[in-house]
Amino acid sequence: MNNSKPIALLISGFFLIAFTGCWDQTKTTKPGENQSTETKSVFVPEFNADSAYSYIERQVAFGPRVPNTAAHKACAAWLEASFKRFTPHVVVQRANLRAFDGTMLDSRNIIAVFNPEIQSRVLLCAHWDSRPWADHDPDPANRKKPVPAANDGGSGVGVLLEIARQMSLHNPGLGVDIVLFDSEDYGEPQEMQGTNEDSWGLGSQYWSKNPHVPGYTARYGILLDMVGASGATFTMEGTSMHFAPDIMRRVWDVAHRLGYEEYFLTKKTGNLIDDHVYVNQNLRIPTIDIIDYDQDREKGFFDYWHTIQDDMSNISKETLHAAGRTVLTVVYESK
């Protein structure tokens, strides 16, 4: 059974320090319990799945967003311009990052900041680059081709762009930083996997050591990865439960209250290495990963993970709505 993610390889026993999140606005209960008397009555804007879908479609239209390509550069400019429609506070953090094979990647972490004057902050993040090799494609002839990355990359970005749009219309009342990490998926090809776990997540490794604001911190963080496939299942992934169990339970509580228990399963699964690892390790921000993952599936991830079939045909507006509305609600209830 293959269940290692490019920057989401199974790990064990590598955590030295555990962190838990602090939630001061509600009492945490088990997912699925009635919380109607415990949750603040606050305004939460409606997440528009059609809008999120269109943002994914636009990314895919550029072609695979592999670092050092024209499509990557064009998409970066579009993402920056899109964020600037929603907030004047946009940072593009450029860095030349060395890949596992020595290639220097012209990388761009793209950051949108809302309410920069407010000290109490929340971090939302996703990766926006594409896998340069479809090394899990069933057809060996396709394994050197780049991945369209509609779901693995594009979906998290699409959801966050829609959340940014909503925050531009309805002030969340707290500080929010949306970080789109680059060069997440430029890790070792399948035949080498396991030799260098840190070949993944190069953009988040860089940002977590060089944040856009010196001394940056946040109350908690949420990473979105592969949140668009039909029939997605977001499990309680082990790295998240190690570093930020209170935050994961709170997010799952909200999802269940909203009626999304078919997506947000209480099943506990193995530890993954993803961008949230480096945020937790280097910045000590308790950060969880909402990711379509179940170690009991053949690949662990969705059927077309790291294949040339990771295209718009696999994107579900229903799944986008479940993920996006849940995160939007968590943020607005954090005020």
Name the pLDDT band for 196 (thresholds 50, 70, 90).
confident
Cα separation, 251 vs 335, whole angstroms: 15
pLDDT of residue 250: 98
Query: HSE on the CB side for 87, CA within 13 Å?
Result: 28
- Structural domains of the chain, with CATH: 10-332 (3.40.630.10)
Helices (H), the chain: 49-61, 70-86, 156-169, 202-209, 238-243, 245-257, 275-283, 317-332
Cα separation, 46 vs 43, whole angstroms: 10
pLDDT at 36 over 50: no
pLDDT at 176 over 90: yes
Residue 258 · residue 326 · CB < 8 Å: yes
Torsion sign, CA atoms 107, 113, 117, 123 = negative
Q: What is the pTM of this model?
A: 0.89
Locus of tokens 């220097």: 104
Name the pLDDT band for 299 (thresholds 50, 70, 90).
confident
Mean pLDDT computed over 39-62: 93
Cα separation, 204 vs 179, whole angstroms: 9
Characterize 288-307 residue by residue with b for buried, 16 or more Cβ atoms within 10 angstroms of its Cβ, and e for exposed. bbbbbbbbebebbbbebbbb
Residue pLDDT, tens place only, 120-163: 999 999 999 999 999 999 999 999 999 999 999 999 999 999 99
Whole-Å CA distances, 260 to 225, 240, 264, 300, 318: 17, 19, 6, 21, 10
CA-based nearest residue to 91, from 70, 102, 76: 76
Cα separation, 62 vs 244, whole angstroms: 35
Locus of tokens 């059974």: 1
Report the range of poorest mean pLDDT among 47-61, 161-175, 188-202, 260-274: 188-202
| Side-by-side strand order, sheet with 90-98 | 90-98, 104-114, 175-181, 121-127, 220-225, 287-291
Kindly give the interhelix angle for 275-283 and 202-209, rounded to the nearest 10 degrees: 20
Computed over every residue of the chain, the mean pLDDT equals 90
Cα separation, 26 vs 21, whole angstroms: 13
Locus of tokens 């990052």: 97
Torsion sign, CA atoms 165, 65, 185, 321 = positive
Query: HSE on the CB side for 313, CA within 13 Å?
Result: 5
pLDDT of residue 1: 31
Token pair for 230: 């039909």
Token pair for 44: 């939460």
Token pair for 225: 């990865």
CA-based nearest residue to 183, from 101, 62, 78: 101
User: Looking at per-residue confidence, does 298 or 101 come out higher?
Assistant: 101
For residue 24, count other CB atoms closer than 10 A to its CB. 7
Cα separation, 330 vs 75, whole angstroms: 29
DSSP designation for 9: -
